[in-house]
Structure 1
Amino acid sequence: MQNQNNPSALGYIMALSAAVMWGVSGTCAQYLFEEKGVSPSWLVCWRMVIAGSLLLAFAIFRKNSDARLIWGKKRDIWEILIFSTFGMVAVQFTYFYSISLSNAATATVLQYVGPVFVVGFYAVKLRRLPKPNEYIALALALTGTFLLVTHGSFEALVISEGALLWGLLSAISLAVYTIQPVQLLRRFSAPTVTGWGMFIGGLIYLLASNPWYLSGTWDVGTFLAFAYIILLGTVIPFSIFLASLNSIGAQTASLLCSVEPLSAALVAVAWLGVTFTAMDWLGTFFVVITVGLLTMSKRPVKLPALRAFWKGKVR
């Protein structure tokens, strides 16, 4: 078996493929919102219920499954319930709603500012100043976001205030999603935590929405896009990303997955005709570099959270 000390080409391909699939998934969601009139709330609810069921089945029936053990202690039960509600539901809804207000490319790039909030959280919690590369990452993230939402102008936004607000809420939700389940991911496998988190989150969201009303126009294109989001946008990339970790390691896989916003932008431009200017591309590039700088950081305190996020990552 390949490992981190002897990485295989297949490991790189799997991690890159997962990133591209996640990026395309956001564009499929934009297609459903704009072209087919599907409600973001409806999509979030059923994506979590259906994909969560499949991921949970994968967790339960895998070899040496620990899926049932997570219900053995009260502490673990509370943590998985909190993760399902304030981590999984929050990151799913804010991301898809941000797409509905802007586009998949912009929403994905804005969400990728999330690791900066992780750094800020640990700086406050541990009462330490950021390292130089973290200051650089913060500057790049702010610059990239500024270029993306203003195109360099101090006078007006090029996206709506709502899109900016929900995009930043998506980034904050991503930070919560990254930090909160760290202890769970140290005690249980990523399939178990992610499977239960998405499935329970979907059930919780059922109580707060009206998922029985089938919104939008449902034809072949709608079903294909929805099926892509469930299978090729959730279950399959999650599985192959986990498999890539055994070969190339979490840090390398994390770096490769930073191409997700680029893939979302390219597909949105090519498929849906989204206008992406030079300023948008430059802002995207700065945010991707931000993720790379933070991922390559050697600080041991921060890496468990970022590595845990990538191990349990679901878009």
Structure 2
Amino acid sequence: MIPVALAALLWGLGGALAGRFMREIPPEVLIPLRFLLSFLLLLPLLLRRPPAPKERPRLLQVGLALSGAQAFYYLAIHATTVATGLFLQYLAPALLTLYALLKGERLPERALWGVALALLGAYVLVVGREGLSGSPLGVAFGLFSATSFALYAAFSHGLKTPPLVALGVATGVGSLLALPFFLANLDRALALTPGHWGAVFYLVTLGTVVPFGLFLLGVRTLPARTATLVAMLEPLSGALFAWPLAGEPLRPEALLGGLMILLGVALNRR
């Protein structure tokens, strides 16, 4: 559980430090750059320790799911708002819980209450009084992002491949899928300012390689439903980091929502 919690802290820190710049970069530029630069950074490790042949089909599924989660998330926040896109993505633990129930899995009642409490806390913390907003297409992107994130966690559970090697394969899949869009928008990528490139560098290193590596490390033994729930600490850490780093006031409802998320995670501890 600790590696996933650390990943959520890094994702939240990234949002506090470079969130404004990330929203200024068009998704058709940011998504390919994130995958391509992350893959190039991990390529030496991937060549040195290639995954076992028996795990390669699952790693392909992990890559496709990660590509969908990231692409649909950025499309969602550009078509709606950051708050709406982030909240919709964190419907992932609810989707995994529903899937478990449909399979006939018996979950403790406290676990179900924990998921409901965490989702309500995420709504209070991320969305708040403004409510969900955006076009139906943007909401659909957000739901696709949640589904892809749930599949990413489910496919990654129990992998024997080292986390960074698995992430190298996943970002390689994302790079191939995003390459046509990158080439079509190469002039826009070259026109990015130094501040934008700084945000991209942070997003690739401490926003992708390190936290997604930690997430893959944690989900090797942690059930996917629990891992996605622990990842909901991201908006809480983002609100806490934004207070000293971006000068954003820490609202009382943010503290309330964060407490509800923590209680929901605690109720789902194994």
TM-score for both structures, normalised by structure 2: 0.75
* Corresponding residue number in structure 2 for 1:92: 70
Residue 108 of structure 1 and its aligned partner are, at CA, apart by: 4.1
Residue 164 of structure 1 and its aligned partner are, at CA, apart by: 4.8
> Of 224, 227, 238, which residue of structure 1 is paired with 2:201?
227
* Corresponding residue number in structure 2 for 1:138: 115
Alignment pair present for 1:113 and 2:91: yes
* Alpha-carbon displacement from aligned partner over 1:161-193 (angstroms, at most 9, x marks no partner): 55654444332221111112336x1x4232222
Flag the 1:82–1:236 CA change in 2: closer, same or farther, 3 A. Answer: closer
Alignment pair present for 1:262 and 2:249: no
Alignment of 1:149-228 (within 5 A): 151=128, 157-161=131-135, 164-182=139-157, 185=159, 187-207=160-180, 210-215=184-189, 218-228=192-202
* SS class of match (2:131): coil
Where does the alignment leave 5 or more consecutive residues of structure 2 unmatched? none
> Of 50, 53, 59, which residue of structure 2 is paired with 1:80?
59
Q: Could you tell me how far apart the structure 1 residues matched to 2:114 and 2:66 are?
A: 26
> Of 21, 26, 30, which residue of structure 1 is paired with 2:10?
21
- Among all aligned residue pairs of Structure 1 and Structure 2, give the percentage whose two residues are the same amino acid: 25
Q: Could you tell me how far apart the structure 1 residues matched to 2:190 and 2:32 are?
A: 15
Q: Could you tell me how far apart the structure 1 residues matched to 2:60 and 2:174 are?
A: 8
Alignment of 1:36-47 (within 5 A): 37-47=24-34
Alignment pair present for 1:30 and 2:19: yes
Flag the 1:165–1:269 CA change in 2: closer, same or farther, 3 A. Answer: farther
* Alpha-carbon displacement from aligned partner over 1:55-99 (angstroms, at most 9, x marks no partner): 3433443xxx3x243xx35xx4443333322x1111111233344
Where does the alignment leave 5 or more consecutive residues of structure 1 unmatched? 5-11, 298-315
Q: Could you tell me how far apart the structure 2 residues matched to 1:106 and 1:287 are?
A: 17
Alignment pair present for 1:122 and 2:96: no
Residue type of the alignment partner of 2:15: G
Equivalent pairs, count: 262
* Alpha-carbon displacement from aligned partner over 1:131-166 (angstroms, at most 9, x marks no partner): 2122202321443355357646xxx83533556544
Residue type of the alignment partner of 1:40: P
* Alpha-carbon displacement from aligned partner over 1:87-122 (angstroms, at most 9, x marks no partner): 11111112333444423x664454333222222212
Contact residue 83 and residue 197 of structure 1 kept, 8 A: yes
Q: Could you tell me how far apart the structure 2 residues matched to 1:287 and 1:171 are?
A: 17
Larger helix share, 1 or 2:
2
Contact residue 88 and residue 201 of structure 1 kept, 8 A: yes
| Structure having the higher Rg | 1
Flag the 1:199–1:243 CA change in 2: closer, same or farther, 3 A. Answer: closer
Q: Could you tell me how far apart the structure 1 residues matched to 2:152 and 2:16 are?
A: 22
Contact residue 29 and residue 96 of structure 1 kept, 8 A: no
* Corresponding residue number in structure 2 for 1:302: none
* Corresponding residue number in structure 2 for 1:57: 44
Contact residue 98 and residue 166 of structure 1 kept, 8 A: yes
The alignment's C-alpha RMSD in Å is: 3.8
Contact residue 144 and residue 287 of structure 1 kept, 8 A: yes
Contact residue 20 and residue 259 of structure 1 kept, 8 A: yes
Residue type of the alignment partner of 2:67: V
Alignment pair present for 1:102 and 2:106: no
Residue type of the alignment partner of 1:283: G
* SS class of match (1:214): helix
Alignment pair present for 1:147 and 2:124: yes
